[in-house]
Chain A
Amino acid sequence: MSHAPSTLTERVARIALVVSAIAVLVFLVAPILAILPLSVNDSEFLTYPMRGWTTRWYESVFASEKWRLAVMNSFLIGIPATVIATVLGTLASIGLAMADFRGKAAISALILSPLVVPIVIVAVGLYFFFAPLGLTQTYTGLIVAHAALGAPFVVVTVSAALASFDRNLARAAASLGAPPVTVFRRVMLPILAPGVASGALFAFAASFDEVVTVMLLGAPHQRTIPREMFSGLRDSFNPTIAAVATLLTVLAVALLLVVEALRLRAERLKTRAGD
């Protein structure tokens, strides 16, 4: 509310609102922070109070062949999947923004549907579908699955960037004699870049945190970081998991800050263009 609270009831209501909102923020953030100190706690048990400081849990993660393989698998699957999702998603977004045609609404609904279709349905479908093609238990199969799941994120962010794109810029470039490819490369892409980059980060994060398709389609030697964590949490939840969780949280914060910076940059570009 923009006006100053005047009556007592209003003031009480405002305090109640702020207190409950802060309580919800604590609920959102505190659990994630709570696990971090246990990664340097000198105890086999994941309980407070802390018993002393150690780096041995991190040492055992870095020394472990299992986690080294998991990190390698996560990138081996995540990076190609992100590249495919980003290229196909960016092209499709430009196409969707370019012209109106019959069936456009249905096509966009289809392109965005991997965002809402339960992941287990996709995984089971691919499990049956890939078997006769020899694609189960292959990196190719997992990359294709993750690319399909990541592409809608790119379409959403690039479409948002395109919605605020001033078409006259492209027209001006074309009227000055630039061929379409040059217009795309020199005018459109720099303005769309923040949208493309944050879409790519979303797609990568989706792949980097995906368990179910890896569980159903992956071979034992293709376990990714979240897949190892899933097993760890079920079978032997020990402080090395807290160490991995801490590393993943640091990565999440980094990704979040980059995406927010991209968003603010895009907003600045937009307001500058509007001036």
Chain B
Amino acid sequence: MDRDVDLAKDLKRAERRRRMTALALIAPLFLFLMASFVAPIVDMLRRSVVDTELAEVWPATAAAVKHWQPGAAAPDALYAALGADLKASAEARTIAIAARRLNYALPNGRSLVLNTGRALRADDTAPASWRDRLIGLDPAWGEPATLVALQQASGPATDFYLLTAVDMERDTAGAIVQRPAQQSLYLQVLGRTLMISLVVTLVCLLLGFPLSYLVANAPARTGNLLMILVLLPFWTSLLVRSAAWIVLLQDQGVVNGALQALGITDGPIRMIFNRTGVVIAMTHVLLPFMIMPMIATMKSIPPTYMRAAVSLGAHPAVAFVRVYLPQTVPGVAAGALLVFIMALGYYVTPALVGGAEDQMLAYFIAFYTTSSANWGLAAALGVILLGATMILYLVYARLAGMGQVKLG
């Protein structure tokens, strides 16, 4: 009896030790990814709602504008704070930060702030009324839209960037409304991103199915050889493949040459640096990701079902559609989701083989991070891209099972 209890205790202890060892082995990678992957992404997402730029350079204005009710007349104290902040920041040369932040919200925000600052710096007399002085320099300072923009930029948190990322804004009364058409861009970019990804996924599916079927049903030796041909583009550098498509699809390229030699077209047709080039090159890059799960699924389908259906009198075509196709669904769905997810975040291929009208969400995220330093907007667009990716990844994980992710 005692020995049984001891044994149970021993087993439990061994089990616990085993679990601790497992956790200790996982911990280094887990902590490494937490620090080098999860934390930076969370920090970036945080930036989509943080708005402290204006408050840092114009602290008095940011504090004063909080008490103002949109619709009411602006108090003199607000204009006094604004005037003093403008002058001080112009002298401290931090005014460009405020100018940049207001320019996100106001069409002429940058010139309004910089011109006013320049005028104030040149003149050291303290005005009797800051309100008259500022409105005298530029009537825009008296407009409710300017004050609303100031208030919305006063921080510390904002929905401004997230709203901008879906082409919305707050009007002077604080209600969420559609942005004017000439300032709208991102819904169109999002639609374009989804559309390109969808077209690429469908083309991959169409091209991938027959090849997967052939590889999966070929004798082992042929199958291995075909697999190597499928994997060759997978291992070849993305840059090499983009270069290859530029060479092939350019106006004097092989494809245009062949089309003209065959008399299909009279002159070269444009196939690169436009949408056609993006779809062709992205399909080429992503096709192996479609084919690999499809082959794995098709290999596991026993040929006996088809044989049974045919021997029971089904026409082979009917048997194929009713018996074989439904069994390929897991592989097809996994491949299609994987291709769609990867296509959503594409940057390099559209940047190299697309035109200005073919740039996807990822391009704008990088652009607002480096070229124009609108970090809040970059982060907000990142929230949208990451959100879409994560939702689809969860669907994929549920569908394929986490342990089913396979390479090669």
Does A91 touch B at the CB level, under 8 Å? yes
Taken residue by residue from 248 to 269, chain A's Cβ proximity to chain B (1 for < 8 Å, 0 otherwise) reads as 1100110111011001100000
- Chain A residues, CB < 8 A from B242: 233
Interface 9-residue window, one of A58-66, A156-164, A165-173, A185-193: A156-164
Taken residue by residue from 21 to 48, chain A's Cβ proximity to chain B (1 for < 8 Å, 0 otherwise) reads as 1001101110110110010000001111
Taken residue by residue from 347 to 361, chain B's Cβ proximity to chain A (1 for < 8 Å, 0 otherwise) reads as 110011000000000
Tell me whether A121 and B239 are in contact in the complex, defined as CB-CB below 8 angstroms, given that A21-B214, A35-B247, A96-B22 are known contacts: no
Are B233 and A28 in contact, CB atoms less than 8 angstroms apart? yes
- Chain A residues, CB < 8 A from B243: 35, 229, 233, 237, 241-242, 245
Interface 9-residue window, one of B41-49, B103-111, B144-152, B175-183: B41-49
- Chain A residues, CB < 8 A from B252: 45, 47
Minimum distance in angstroms from A169 CB to a CB of chain B? 17
- Chain A residues, CB < 8 A from B257: 48
Contact partner, B287, options A28, A156, A253, A264, Cβ 8 Å:
A28
Q: Which residue of A lies closest to B316 (CB)?
A: A10
Does A127 touch B at the CB level, under 8 Å? yes
Q: Which residue of A lies closest to B30 (CB)?
A: A107
A-B contact count (CB 8 A): 294
Tell me, in angstroms, the Cα distance from A230 to B316 when the chains sit together.
Answer: 50
Minimum distance in angstroms from B318 CB to a CB of chain A? 11
Does B3 touch A at the CB level, under 8 Å? no
Are B28 and A92 in contact, CB atoms less than 8 angstroms apart? yes
Minimum distance in angstroms from B243 CB to a CB of chain A? 5
Q: Which of B47-98 contact A (CB under 8 A)?
A: 47
Are A99 and B22 in contact, CB atoms less than 8 angstroms apart? yes
Does B238 touch A at the CB level, under 8 Å? yes
At the interface, is chain B mostly helix, strand, loop or mixed? helix
Tell me, in angstroms, the Cα distance from A148 to B244 when the chains sit together.
Answer: 29
Tell me, in angstroms, the Cα distance from A18 to B91 when the chains sit together.
Answer: 75
Does A219 touch B at the CB level, under 8 Å? no
Minimum distance in angstroms from B344 CB to a CB of chain A? 7
Q: Which of B325-382 contact A (CB under 8 A)?
A: 341-342, 344-348, 351-352, 362, 365-366, 369-370, 375, 378-379, 382
Are A118 and B362 in contact, CB atoms less than 8 angstroms apart? yes
Taken residue by residue from 392 to 408, chain B's Cβ proximity to chain A (1 for < 8 Å, 0 otherwise) reads as 01001100001101111
Taken residue by residue from 230 to 256, chain B's Cβ proximity to chain A (1 for < 8 Å, 0 otherwise) reads as 111111111111111111101011100
Interface 9-residue window, one of B32-40, B122-130, B184-192: B32-40
The residue in A24, A113, A144, A155 that gathers the most chain B C-beta atoms within 10 A of its C-beta is: A24
Minimum distance in angstroms from B242 CB to a CB of chain A? 6
- Chain A residues, CB < 8 A from B23: 95, 101
Does A54 touch B at the CB level, under 8 Å? no
Contact partner, B238, options A27, A114, A160, A226, Cβ 8 Å:
A226
Are A2 and B303 in contact, CB atoms less than 8 angstroms apart? yes
Minimum distance in angstroms from B26 CB to a CB of chain A? 4
- Chain A residues, CB < 8 A from B15: 99
- Chain A residues, CB < 8 A from B244: 31-32, 34-35, 245
Does A147 touch B at the CB level, under 8 Å? yes
Are B21 and A98 in contact, CB atoms less than 8 angstroms apart? yes
Does B7 touch A at the CB level, under 8 Å? no
Q: Which residue of B lies closest to A46 (CB)?
A: B247
Are A88 and B32 in contact, CB atoms less than 8 angstroms apart? yes
Are A119 and B408 in contact, CB atoms less than 8 angstroms apart? no
Minimum distance in angstroms from B187 CB to a CB of chain A? 19
Are A94 and B241 in contact, CB atoms less than 8 angstroms apart? no
Contact partner, A98, options B22, B233, B378, B408, Cβ 8 Å:
B22
List of 6 A-B pairs having minimum Cβ-Cβ separation, nearest first:
A118-B345, A95-B25, A125-B40, A129-B40, A95-B26, A92-B29
Residues in B lying within 8 Å of A, measured CB to CB: 15, 18-19, 21-30, 32-33, 36-41, 43-44, 47, 207-208, 210-211, 213-215, 217, 224, 226-248, 250, 252-254, 257, 284, 287-288, 303, 306-307, 316-317, 341-342, 344-348, 351-352, 362, 365-366, 369-370, 375, 378-379, 382, 385-386, 389, 393, 396-397, 402-403, 405-408
Q: Pull 25 A–B residue pairs with CB atoms less than 8 Å apart, ordered by A.
A: A1-B306, A3-B307, A13-B316, A18-B214, A32-B233, A32-B240, A92-B29, A95-B24, A107-B26, A108-B402, A108-B403, A109-B397, A109-B402, A111-B33, A119-B362, A121-B365, A126-B40, A128-B43, A128-B44, A156-B407, A211-B239, A233-B242, A233-B352, A252-B235, A263-B408
